[in-house]
Amino acid sequence: MDEVRSEPAAGLRLQRVRQAIRSVPDFPEPGILFRDITPVLSNAELFGDAVGQLAAPFDSMPPDVVVAIESRGFLFGAPLALRWGASLVPVRKPGKLPARTRREEYSLEYGTSVLEIHLDALAPGSRVVIVDDLLATGGTASAARRLVESLGGIVAGFSFLVELEALQGRTELGSAAPVHSAIVF
């Protein structure tokens, strides 16, 4: 059973999650300041608080499907899917899914990549929340959105633990679906 939290208590818990996120300069490339969430994951209470923050905006109208983006999105997508009684659909890097897939190329803040989804991953008309640990330029989440929409899914929203505001990822995602970020740097 979930604990009922007052807003001030929830704010303090979120502040603890924020403080636990480690900043690692020059990773994975020089000039990048990486926000490392592993300290949050290593503390069950903080991890639970992070999942609660990701879920809160969608708890009143849970999705049918959680689309979790490889790889750290899987860490948050699984508990969210369980919480909402939703299906979990992984969106993965090329060659990682065993059945027929659809692929989408996208840009990162430091290169390009490709995501894939199984062709039978969701039914047309499914309400989907796309989940990842971080919103940077929005390229990865936007590619996941295009994959969902190409299969007939309806993106009901995006949920991220961290948003790097200066990279303006929200702009890339547009205004068609709500974008929730628990923590903004």
Active site residues: 72, 109
In order, the DSSP letters of 158-184 are EEEEEE-GGG-HHHHH-SSS-EEEEEE
Strands 22-25 and 33-36: antiparallel
Residues 6+ apart with CB under 8 A from 86: 62, 63, 64, 65, 66, 80, 129
Instruction: Say if residues 124 and 102 touch (Cβ distance below 8 Å).
Output: no
Helix (H) or strand (E) holding 79: helix 72-84
Instruction: Say if residues 101 and 119 touch (Cβ distance below 8 Å).
Output: yes
d(CA 179, CA 92): 21
- 3-state SS, residue 148: helix
Helix (H) or strand (E) holding 74: helix 72-84
